[in-house]
Amino acid sequence: MLATLLTTALTVSAEAAGHEAPAPTIAPPFVVGGVLFAIFVVLMFVTLSYTNLGRRHEAVDEHADPHRQ
């Protein structure tokens, strides 16, 4: 049953793909990829800029809170 369904789906998609025009894009694929890569690199540097926050001060032991259960 699954093989029949898969074969039918592939046949229909192969027939439909032959006469449809590709979807329009804003820019060529390499430009879109380059822009996305640049955005992710900027986000990586933003993330790395926060790595020193944990090393500013020495670790302080947590005080005993009598109200904590």
Summarize pLDDT for 36-51 with one digit per residue, the tens. Answer: 999 999 999 999 999 8
Percent of residues, the chain, with pLDDT higher than 70: 88
What pLDDT band is residue 15 in, cutting at 50, 70 and 90? low
Count the helix, strand and coil residues of the chain and give each as a percent rounded to the nearest 5: 60, 0, 40
Sign of the CA dihedral running 17, 19, 25, 33:
positive
List Cβ neighbours of 25 (8 Å cut-off, separation of 6 or more).
Answer: 32
Q: What is the C-alpha separation between 52 and 33, in angstroms, rounded?
A: 31
User: Whats the size of the chain, residue-wise?
Assistant: 69
Question: Structure tokens of 69?
Answer: 């259960």
Highest mean pLDDT: which range of 4-13, 14-23, 28-37, 54-63: 28-37
